[in-house]
Amino acid sequence: MIFTVLLITFLQVNTSLSSPGESVESDKTCIGCHSKVTVLPGIYRQWKMSLHANVDVGCYECHKANKSDKDGFNHHGKYISIIVSPEDCAKCHQKEAEEFADSIHSDSICLVDSELGMYLIKNIEGINDPKIPGASAAGNTGCRKCHGSTVTITANGKTDSGTWPNTGMGRINPDGSKGTCTACHLTHEFSRSQVRQPETCGACHNQQGGHPQIEIFKQSKHGVAYYTNKEQMNLDSTQWVLGVDYTTAPTCSSCHISATIKLPITHNINLRVNYSEKMIEASGLGIHDKCKLPFKNTCKMPLPRQEHKENMIQVCTSCHSKSLVDNFYSQFEEEASSFMNKWIEPGRELYLKAQKIIKETGSYDPLTNSLDYAWVGMCNSHTVYAYSGAAMSAPGWADQGNMNLAASWYNEFIPTIQQIITKGKQSTSTKAQKLAVGLEKYLKKNVLENPIYYGFQKQNNVQQ
């Protein structure tokens, strides 16, 4: 079977990209130069160890360009492109490219280029127009390394240093395609073992970037099982089917991408991710709807579907009983509903009402005031900790998220709301006064006198 797959791949490559003679001769030229010690020998050695090399897929098959291509240039008599885009990879890997294009990964640049992303970059760096290529040093070395850049080509046909190098997941390439396969499949070896390991996803999904999934995984039982028994994971397996090729532990890839006994491999992570509107909000993906920040959301969101939950259950039951999995999802969903109902949904109403008072008592500039800072920390960062900790069975992280939500609520958010009420009542604006009185009544009824907020009840009893 393996021989047949390799043969088919070889035939597809040599018939879909260029004539066999042209490819072979061009690859010989590339190898003849790049295998020398003085001309990027590391790239040649990586490729030599790859599956591509084993099936005679060489440099020219991937880097071939037309003279009319924006990023094409003449390199020793052949037109090539430095950038290998999903459109290029699709010539052999069409199914994978189509699945990726349908996923939220392919549109991840949107968050940086959105109103919210541009506003954050503008305020952090004081840049008037952060959309100018290379204008944002912090954005280029931070946000865009994961979310992607729009790669531009200079007048002399070279890649613009303001937008390249970049292997961000949602990169927009000169040929118009979105994404980059090398965000996960590191060049030029394209190791199966490498792409299946959690560190691959952890390059972007980490605490420093605000999404601590890799740290959470390491402290979960799945992570402990993986790191203490990694040699049993059979990471180089051709199929790598959970429950067949390995049973020690799952990785990020196992749950969201790779094959199981009942599910095929997919490059569309939407199919095994959030499955309801509340789950999308709780996870941090639905920041616009959850936080109600004054910015338009034009980014693609994964459609909530029950079948996505069923897909995840199929993954879990590769190793666990159905009753255990059902009980896990019950606990997980109750946790997400709990912090959304107690902190986020009432907090959202308080935030919107307080925002109106700020606008009436002076100028309002988003994310430059104590209200917005306290609220965004709660509605985004802390909920991500609680949600992801519960989703990945890492109790310490779930505890941290819940504790941070409570601490921010009692020590930052509600005191800020009370300060805004006081300022509104003291304002010369009649409208601001009315809004403040209305917010004060809402706060008293729904929070200060609500028994679920035990902290306030305790304070009231002490005062009495």
Q: What would the pLDDT profile of 267-324 be if each residue is shown by its tens digit?
A: 999 999 888 988 998 998 888 889 999 998 888 888 889 999 999 999 999 999 999 9
pLDDT given at position 238: 92
Q: Which residues pair with 150 in a beta bridge?
A: 172
Rounded CA-CA distance 159/335 in Å is 47
- Return the ∠ at Cα 14 (arms to 8 and 16), rounded to 5°: 95
pLDDT given at position 458: 59
Q: Which amino acid is at 322?
A: K
Asked if pLDDT for residue 329 goes beyond 90, the answer is yes
Asked if pLDDT for residue 177 goes beyond 70, the answer is yes
Among 31-35, 103-107, 250-254, 342-346, name the one with the lowest average pLDDT: 31-35
Rounded CA-CA distance 428/119 in Å is 31
Choose between 146 and 7: higher pLDDT: 146
Q: Give exposure, 75-108, as e/b (b: 16+ Cβ within 10 Å).
A: eeebebbbbbbbebbbbbbeebbebbbbbbbbbb
Residue that is written with structure tokens 């003449």 in the block: 74
Q: Identify whether the C-beta of residue 154 lies closer than 8 Å to the C-beta of residue 163.
A: no
pLDDT given at position 101: 96
Asked if pLDDT for residue 79 goes beyond 90, the answer is yes
Q: What would the pLDDT profile of 98-109 be if each residue is shown by its tens digit?
A: 999 999 999 999
Backbone angles phi, psi at 387, to 5 degrees: -65, -50
DSSP-assigned states of every residue in 311-343:
HHHHHHTTTS-HHHHHHHHHHHHHHHHHHIIII
Asked if pLDDT for residue 459 goes beyond 90, the answer is no
Rounded CA-CA distance 277/285 in Å is 10
Rounded CA-CA distance 311/260 in Å is 10
Asked if pLDDT for residue 370 goes beyond 60, the answer is yes
pLDDT given at position 7: 43
Asked if pLDDT for residue 1 goes beyond 80, the answer is no
Q: What is the mean pLDDT of residues 76-96?
A: 95
Confidence grade of residue 24 (pLDDT, cut at 50, 70, 90):
low
For residue 146, give the nearest of 95, 111, 195, 122 by alpha carbon.
111
Confidence grade of residue 139 (pLDDT, cut at 50, 70, 90):
confident
Kindly state the greatest CA–CA separation across the chain: 91
Instruction: State the number of CA atoms in the 13 A half-sphere of 69 facing the CB.
Output: 26
Confidence grade of residue 129 (pLDDT, cut at 50, 70, 90):
confident
Rounded CA-CA distance 384/283 in Å is 5
pLDDT given at position 462: 42
Rounded CA-CA distance 123/127 in Å is 7
Structure-derived torsion over alpha carbons of residues 333, 222, 203, 382, reported in degrees to the nearest 10 = 30
Residue 137: how many CB atoms within 10 A of its CB? Answer: 11
Q: What would the pLDDT profile of 304-315 be if each residue is shown by its tens digit?
A: 899 999 999 999
pLDDT given at position 16: 38
The two three-digit tokens of residue 421, written as one number: 């009420």
DSSP-assigned states of every residue in 415-464:
HHHHHHHHHHHTSS-HHHHHHHHHHHHHHIIIIIT-TT-HHHHHHHHHH-
Percent of the chain's residues with pLDDT above 90: 71
Asked if pLDDT for residue 18 goes beyond 80, the answer is no
pLDDT given at position 23: 59
Compute the mean pLDDT over every residue in the chain, rounded to the nearest whole number: 89
Choose between 11 and 130: higher pLDDT: 130
Q: What would the pLDDT profile of 382-438 be if each residue is shown by its tens digit?
A: 999 999 999 999 999 999 999 999 999 999 999 999 999 999 999 999 999 999 999
Confidence grade of residue 375 (pLDDT, cut at 50, 70, 90):
very high
Q: What is the mean pLDDT of residues 87-113?
A: 95
Could you list the beta-strand ranges (E) of 52-189: 73-75, 78-80
pTM surpassing 0.95?
Answer: no
The two three-digit tokens of residue 112, written as one number: 């940086």
Q: Identify whether the C-beta of residue 55 lies closer than 8 Å to the C-beta of residue 10.
A: yes
Confidence grade of residue 12 (pLDDT, cut at 50, 70, 90):
very low
Percent of the chain's residues with pLDDT above 70: 92
Q: Identify whether the C-beta of residue 232 lies closer than 8 Å to the C-beta of residue 248.
A: yes
pLDDT given at position 128: 72
Q: What is the mean pLDDT of residues 258-268?
A: 96
pLDDT given at position 21: 47
- Asked if the peptide bond before residue 188 counts as cis, ω within 30 degrees of 0, the response is yes
Asked if pLDDT for residue 172 goes beyond 60, the answer is yes
Q: What would the pLDDT profile of 191-228 be if each residue is shown by its tens digit?
A: 999 999 999 999 999 999 889 999 999 999 999 999 99
Asked if pLDDT for residue 14 goes beyond 50, the answer is no
pLDDT given at position 382: 94
Rounded CA-CA distance 188/50 in Å is 7
Residues in the chain: 464
